[in-house]
Structure 1
Amino acid sequence: MRVNEALPGCDERVVTIYSNSEETNRIEDDNEDFVCPAFDALFKVHDMIVAQEFDNDDDYDDNDEYSERQTVVTVRMLVPSDQIGCLLGKGGQVIQKLHNDTNAQIRVINDNLPSCALALSHDELLQIIGDPSAVR
């Protein structure tokens, strides 16, 4: 994992998660699915950030699980430009199916990019909004 330096005037940072390993990890909350170590790390980072947001929320009841709350989270990811077509699919079919399956709002942002995203001109900005489990 690598966290890029903060850029002046930008309150976001780019976090790069990668793995060269060909091994797969079992997803903790799912006994049958395996993912590459980078995806496993991404899921864990997401879960930690969501949990931290709830720890900072005064209205949060410690007995609630975050998946049971009526909370909306926003995730923004940089996707290599040459891979964005795989996410969209022909005629937008893949992204529409993801939306239908998760009920999350998923869109590629082309305007008003943060300066940290502009520095990586070979990437597109993907934004996902929804409940934490759908966004994950």
Structure 2
Amino acid sequence: MDSSLVGGGLNVTLTIRLLMHGKVSKGESVKKMREESGARINISEGNCPERIITLAGPTTSIFKAFSMIIEKLEEDISTSMTNSTATSKPPVTMRLVVPASQCGSLIGKGGCKIKEIRESAGAQVQVAGDMLPNSTERAITVAGTPQSIIECVKQICVVMLESPPKGVTIPYRPKPSGSPVIFAGGQLTKLHQLAMQQSPFPIAHGNQGFQAGMDASAQTGSHELTIPNDLIGCIIGRQGAKINEIRQMSGAQIKIANPVEGSTDRQVTITGSHASISLAEYLINARLSSEATGLAAN
């Protein structure tokens, strides 16, 4: 963040860092976003499974650009739904990258601040417990409707402006897939694990763990994934430890179909609330990406 709060409002210059998975278009859509919003938009380079998108400028420009990115993600979900057997639409999910030194203020005493943000914005917010590899930053996952995500991020920005980062921040830089990665101080146990210990909704709440307090998330649906046979082991884990962990953290039911003769893939069916399905899918993808970079924990 570049400035302090002005007159109690959000009329300041600030920087938001987003962590996007998969291919990020750098063509006409980004050019249009820059022109229409007036924000500076930078997308990290490199052949990486992840990209960092940096938005900088006055708050009005930032949130215009942010809204356009959210709309694009919503469009992508709608497009993917046309080729999917899923009956319910998954929520838009966005990840912010913030200095770890600011996460305490965002969570608040006993989780009170993050609970307040969740309830007033109507979005789900999860602060990762582990820092991102080779950095002093943590990922904050926000899921919900486009409007609830925008409101949620505005409130996160207010907290971050009121509590500037302490000390030196080492920014997270995504690594190219397949290249060796060295982690400082062995801080990584699982790639981008969504830690639940700092959520006011502990795992003990069972299926309500991630989405408690969200009326809309009571709706259930199912989603199917196809995973190559040679990668299914990293999802299941030793004696089913990994799949059970994903079930417990997400609150979703996950069924892995038996191998089909002649097929190189296995069908995975995820059933539960929108939030549970979204989180289970995220955790499965995190396992797959960590396996792809040779980092999956046993």
TM range (shorter): 0.5 to 0.7
Q: Measure the CA separation in 2 of the matches of 1:80 and 1:135.
A: 20
- Equivalent positions of 1:23-62 (< 5 A) are 37=58, 39-56=59-76, 57-58=78-79
Q: Which residue of 1 aligns with 2:240?
A: none
The answer to whether structure 1 residue 16 and structure 2 residue 35 are counterparts is no
Q: Do the aligned residues in 2 keep the contact of 1:71 with 1:131 (CA within 8 Å)?
A: no
- Residue among 116, 127, 138 paired with 1:124: 138
Q: Measure the CA separation in 2 of the matches of 1:110 and 1:118.
A: 12
Deviations 1:21-71 (A, max 9, x none): xxxxxxxxxxxxxxxx1x3333222221233345453589xxxxxxxxx76
Q: Do the aligned residues in 1 keep the contact of 2:100 with 2:136 (CA within 8 Å)?
A: yes
* Greater relative contact order (CA < 8 Å, ≥ 6 in sequence): 1
The answer to whether structure 1 residue 5 and structure 2 residue 33 are counterparts is no
Q: Measure the CA separation in 1 of the matches of 2:104 and 2:75.
A: 37
Q: Do the aligned residues in 2 keep the contact of 1:71 with 1:132 (CA within 8 Å)?
A: no
Q: Measure the CA separation in 2 of the matches of 1:16 and 1:49.
A: 12
Q: Which residue of 2 aligns with 1:93?
A: 112
Question: What is the one-letter code of the residue matched to 1:118?
Answer: P
TM-score w.r.t. the length of structure 2 is: 0.30
Q: Which residue of 1 aligns with 2:92?
A: 73
TM-score w.r.t. the length of structure 1 is: 0.61
The answer to whether structure 1 residue 109 and structure 2 residue 98 are counterparts is no
Cα–Cα, structure 1 residues 134 and 45, in superposed 2: closer, same or farther, change >3 Å? same
Find the residue that maps to 1:74 and give its secondary structure.
strand
Q: Which residue of 2 aligns with 1:133?
A: 147
Where is the helix percentage greater, Structure 1 or Structure 2? 2
Question: Alpha-carbon deviation of 1:106?
Answer: 0.4
Greater Cα radius of gyration, structure 1 or 2? 2
Question: What is the one-letter code of the residue matched to 1:42?
Answer: I
Q: Measure the CA separation in 1 of the matches of 2:96 and 2:66.
A: 12
Q: Measure the CA separation in 1 of the matches of 2:98 and 2:74.
A: 27
Q: Measure the CA separation in 1 of the matches of 2:119 and 2:75.
A: 30
Q: Percent identity?
A: 28
Q: Do the aligned residues in 2 keep the contact of 1:72 with 1:129 (CA within 8 Å)?
A: yes
Unaligned runs of 5+ in 2: 1-40, 83-88, 151-298
Unaligned runs of 5+ in 1: 20-36, 61-69
Question: What is the one-letter code of the residue matched to 1:110?
Answer: G
- Give the aligned CA root-mean-square deviation in angstroms: 2.6
Find the residue that maps to 1:75 and give its secondary structure.
strand
Q: Do the aligned residues in 2 keep the contact of 1:79 with 1:123 (CA within 8 Å)?
A: yes
Question: Alpha-carbon deviation of 1:78?
Answer: 0.3
Aligned length: 102
